[in-house]
Amino acid sequence: MFINSFFYFCFFDKENFKMDLINKGTVANSLCGYVRIDRWEDEKTDKLIEHYKSIIELLGEDVSREGLIKTPLRIAKAMQFLMQGYNSKPEDILKSAMYKEDYKEMVIVKDIELYSMCEHHMLPFFGKVHVAYIPNKYITGLSKIARVVEAFARRMQIQERLTFQIRDCIENTLKPMGVAVVIEAQHMCMQMRGVQKQSSTTTTSAFTGAFDRVATRDEFLTLINK
Ligand SMILES: [Zn+2]
C-alpha cells in the first residue's frame, strides 16, 4: 500500500508543463496511458540527503552498508514527491477549468484515492475521498476535483483539516449551492504504533449550503455507499 503512494497518476496539461520548467529534476514515465511524474530540486535534495544520513545513523544503522547507500537519496526524492502539494494552488486548479452551465443537479466524484502524511508522526494515512457539489451557474472538470484533493493531500496534514480545505476550496471558487466532502482513511500511526488498531477507519465529513438539508445529505450519503 505504501509503495503505491510513490506513484502519481495524472494527465499532462498546461499546469504540469509549467511545473516541469520550474523544477530541475523531473522524470515522467508513461504507464497504461497515465503519466507518473517525480519532481525534485537538486539543492534541496542534497540537504535532505545529509539530514537523512544523520537520522539513519542516529537510529542505529550503518549508512555505508550496501543496501543503504542510495537510501538517503531515495527518501529525499520520495519526500519531495509526497510534499509536492506545497507547490500547487488548488483554487487555480479549479479556476483553470470553470465552465458556465445551467446544470443544477448533484455532481458526485466518489472513491478518489487519497494518500497523505499525518503531521503528528509523518506517517501515511490513506483511503478514499468522496466529493459532491450542486452547481450554481458554474461547473468544473471532474478530474480537477481529484487534483484539488491531491494538492491538499500531498502536504503534512490532519484528516479533519484536509476535509475542510477541500470543501472550502470548492465553496470559495465555484460558489455552488452546496458542497459535501467525506473522507474515509486508515492511519499508519494508529496501525503500526500506538494503539495498533489494524483495521479501524476514520471518517470525517464537511458540508455547506444545500447539504445542510437532511434529505440532500442523505441522498449524497446513499449514492457514495452504493
Ligand atoms: Zn499520526
The three three-digit cell numbers of residue 35, written as one number = 503519466
Tens-digit pLDDT profile for residues 70-111: 999 999 999 999 999 999 999 999 999 999 999 999 999 999
- pTM, rounded to two decimals: 0.82
Q: Look up 120 and say whether it is catalytic.
A: yes
Q: Look up 130 and say whether it is catalytic.
A: no
Mean pLDDT of the chain, nearest integer: 86
Ligand 1 centroid – CA 85 distance (Å): 19
Fold of the CATH domain 3-82: GTP Cyclohydrolase I; Chain A, domain 1 (1.10.286)
Position of cell 475521498? Answer: 129
Longest dimension (CA), the chain: 63
The three three-digit cell numbers of residue 147, written as one number = 487534483
Q: For 139-200, what is the HEC assignment?
A: EECHHHHHHHHHHHHCCEECHHHHHHHHHHHHHHHHCCCEEEEEEEEEEHHHHCCCCCCCCC
Whether residue 202 has pLDDT greater than 60 = yes
State mean pLDDT over 103-124: 96
Whether residue 25 has pLDDT greater than 80 = no
Q: Look up 121 and say whether it is catalytic.
A: yes
Cross-strand bridge partners of residue 3: none
Tens-digit pLDDT profile for residues 151-166: 999 999 999 999 999 9
Ligand 1 centroid – CA 125 distance (Å): 8
Per-domain residue ranges for the chain? 3-82, 93-224
Ligand 1 centroid – CA 80 distance (Å): 19
Q: With the CA atoms of 174, 180, 184 and 189 taken in that order, what torsion angle do they form, in degrees rounded to the nearest 10?
A: 60
Q: Look up 32 and say whether it is catalytic.
A: no
Architecture of domain 93-224: 2-Layer Sandwich (3.30)
